[in-house]
Structure formats: C-alpha cells, structure tokens
Amino acid sequence: MEFLIKFAQAHEAFRLPEIEALATLEGIEMTVLEYDLSSPVCLVRLPTVQDAQRLIRRSILAQSIHELWGYGASLDDAHESLKKRTSHWWPRYKDACFKFDFDCYQGARSSTKRLSIINTFSYLPFDGPISMTKPDEIFTIFELWPWNSVPLGVEHPNRVLVGRFVHSSSRDTVLKYDLKKRDYISTTSMDAELSLVTANLALAAPGKLFYDPFAGTGSFPVACAHFGALAWGSDIDGMSLRGEGGRKSLLGNFEQYGLRSQLGGVFSADLTNAPIRRGRKIWDGIVCDPPYGVREGLKVLGLKDPSKAPWLVERGMKSAMYVYRRGCSEFRRNSSLTLRRAPDYVPPKKPYSFLAMLDDILVFASETLVDHGRLSFWMPTANDEEQEIPLPTHPCLQLVAVCVQPFNKWSRKLITYSRIPDNEVSQATLAAYTSRQSTGKTADELNPFRRGYFRKFETEEKPDAT
C-alpha cells in the first residue's frame, strides 16, 4: 500500500532519517517512493494501514500519514488516478461521517475556490453525514505550488495529491518538553525537538538502557525516558547534574515530567575515566552532545605532567584510599550508600584533544553497545571544505545517518552509528585501527573547530611559494 507522510517545515535533513529509524524500531518493511528536501510530502510503501499507524505515532518531525488515493500534475490527473486506484475501496466509506480538508504548500486558495474544488469529488458514493468537528474519515487535498507563487500570481499548483487520514504523529510532545517551561536548564541544554529526534534515531524504547556521558542538565536522558528507555548519565562537572537541588537539578527535571522511575542514575566522571567496565555490552543506546571547547578548552581528569606536581598525585592516591576505606566500613551497613571522595580533594584536569575525544566516544561505544545498538552524537564542523572536520570512523560501528543543521559559517551534525556484531567485524581492519594522536598543547592546537570558530572560519592565507 502507498502512503503520504506530511512533514513539518523544520530540520529538513533530519526528517527522512527519523522515519527510517522508526521503521527499523517497529520492524516495518518500508520503501521510500519519493522524497525531496524542498517538499513536505514523502511517499512511501508499507504493508498495511496498521503499519502506517505504528510508524508515525512517535515521530517528532512528521505531522501525519495518509493513505494515498490519487495524485497528478493537475486536479484532473488526480481525479483520474483516484478513480483507477481506489474505486474498490469506496463501498467501505459509503455510510461514514466524513469531511474534506485542504493543504496548500507555498500557495493559497480562497474559501470559495476550495469549496468548488471539493465539490469536484461529488462522484464519490459517500452517503454519510458531513462533520467538520468529529468526522470518522478525513480526506485531504494536498497542493504543492512553486516557490513564491502568491506574489508571482501563479494560477495552478505543480502537483495535486489526495489522501485519507490514517494517524497523527507525536509532534505535540515538543511543547510538553519545551525548555522555556523546564525548571532546570543551562546555556548548553539541547532543545526539546532535537533531543527527541536524537532519541528516535538511537531507537530509544521500553526495556532498553540508554546512556549520556555528557548529560549536563539531562535533555537527552529525559528524551530517552519519554520513549520508555531507562536513562543513565554522567558529566565531568558534578554541579551541572546536582544544580541547586530539588527542582533545580537533573533529578528535578525527571520529577517535573513524571519520569523519575525511568532514571537509572547519574554520576560524575569524564568519558576517559568513566567507572563503566569496558568490554561489557550493556547499553542499547548512547546519545550525547559532547562539549565543543569554544567557551573554554576541553578538559579531562588528569595532569599534563605528573612529575611536576607529585603532591597532587599523592593527594589523589590518598583520596582513593579514603573512598576505599569508607566503602569497606560503611557499605555493609547501608546498601544505598553513595561513596564520595575526600572532602578537601579537587581532582585536577588537563587539556584534551577534540579529535581524540571523538575517537574515544566511538571506542567507548564499540566496547559497551549491544549488537545493533546505536550511538547518536552531535559534532560541530566548518562549512568550508578545507576546514571541515571529517566524520570519525570505527571498524565496529556502521554509519547509519548524518543529519546536518547549518548555521552561518559552521554546522553541527547528528551522526548515528550501529554496533556491528563481533562475528561480522573485519578483524584485519580492527587490528589496523589506531586512535589519532594529539600533538598540541594549547586549547587551539588541540581543537581545530575552536581555532576556526574564533577566526570566523576564514581560510588561512598560504605563504608564497617564492
């Protein structure tokens, strides 16, 4: 069966990948028949109407899905197509309460003209009552007009399609999680719409474990929890997780939305020193928006040169012994005990390479994702080809989708990978894989995006060969 998906006019590059991810999640065989980024309409083939309902019900960037009845370059062509394709369906709706809707893209119709077009469908043998408020069936006439058709006085659309409404999406969910209504946010909190789309691309669903290693105020864990996953998170800055406590904290955000039971837990750590055991496939999905290092250089726990600060190394060892002794003596008495480091110890941090961090994310995902589990993370890059940061790769991860959100001179990409089962990984490629080695020491040397950002992504002048 052929269906028409009506998309919202937002994040065009993300729309089809989200629908394809939902088809994978629902186990639906979907064939894309026609799609263009410049159009809000996508034609797909699905096995049944029930599959269409399942496909669209949790989409964020789609608005609705319709059973395709007819289409053509003109209204007359659409009528002919409708008669050939659907005449055997007409008896099903003979006594149904119905109405006709109009949807014009880049064009406009007066109420009188709309009514006259709707009346051209009078040959349909529908004897049921017409209801504009609570119809059983809704038939929509979609018109796709040329760009700027109204001021140019274009008289006819480029295409006309007719569809029967099947199901609406979950686009209204964006309003529920709007950051303007959230009690606890920061300057880097990802907006609700893109957080939910990221969770969809990563296939968040009930019974799955999801993890965000750069959780911050919890935008991604909240989005994954909304779709039923058990969410976990960590951040190098423990204060961003704790906030002011109560409603002004990551936990408070979960409680605000009634998702407390979907929060597995949070802890303070950086990705390179996470207490999660490597080699154990535990996560069904990893979602994150790593720091770009623009406001300040990227940092991880550690010392640039431990030999120059032996006293810090000694304090770190004493802090570790404090935690160990406290755990041994108190854990048996309190199984819910949260171990803390020595109260007067502040772990040191050292500069870190942005490119190495991207590699570390992929390595971590390859070691902890279940087979076919997904990694979805955001990466900034310059729009200029000479300064563009290449997509990171890993032998154990298959690239699924790259969605681009452009800004002025730079963009950020939502990159999604799927974990390849071990028996399908090329051992020769895996053996040859090595992480990038950073040679810089300053924040700009370690982060090419940061350097380009503050230079406004202007191409550096090459020295004269003479």
Identify the bridge partners of residue 412 per DSSP, sorted by sequence position: 380, 405
pLDDT per residue as tens, the chain (466 positions) = 999 999 999 999 999 999 999 999 999 999 999 999 999 999 999 999 999 999 999 999 999 999 999 999 999 999 999 999 999 999 999 999 999 999 999 999 999 999 999 999 999 999 999 999 999 999 999 999 999 898 888 989 999 999 999 999 999 999 999 999 999 999 889 999 999 999 999 999 999 999 999 999 999 999 999 999 999 999 988 899 999 999 999 999 999 999 999 999 999 888 888 888 888 899 999 999 998 755 555 677 666 666 666 655 565 555 544 444 444 444 444 444 444 555 566 667 777 778 888 889 999 999 999 999 999 999 988 877 667 788 999 999 999 999 999 988 889 999 999 999 999 998 888 888 855 444 444 445 555 665 665 566 665 555 555 4
CA distances from 452 to 233, 330, 407 (A): 30, 51, 14
Q: Tokens for 324, please give them.
A: 């160990």
**DSSP-assigned letters across all residues of 192-259:** HHHHHHHHHHTT--TT-EEEETT-TTTHHHHHHHHTT-EEEEEES-HHHHHTTBTTBSHHHHHHHTT-
Provide the 8-state DSSP code for 453.
Answer: H
Q: What confidence score (pLDDT) does residue 352 get?
A: 77
Identify the bridge partners of residue 3 per DSSP, sorted by sequence position: 44, 67
Provide the 8-state DSSP code for 260.
Answer: G
Q: What confidence score (pLDDT) does residue 453 get?
A: 57
CATH topology of domain 2-170: VC0802-like (3.30.2130)
Q: What confidence score (pLDDT) does residue 274 get?
A: 81
4: nearest Cα among 131, 105, 121, 147? 105
Q: What confidence score (pLDDT) does residue 354 get?
A: 80
Q: What predicted TM-score, i.e. pTM, was given to this entire model?
A: 0.86
Q: Tokens for 177, please give them.
A: 């999680």
The domain ranges of the chain are: 2-170, 176-294+350-450, 303-327+335-346
Instruction: Please tell me the class of the 176-294+350-450 domain.
Output: alpha beta
The answer to whether the CB of 436 falls within 8 A of the CB of 390 is no
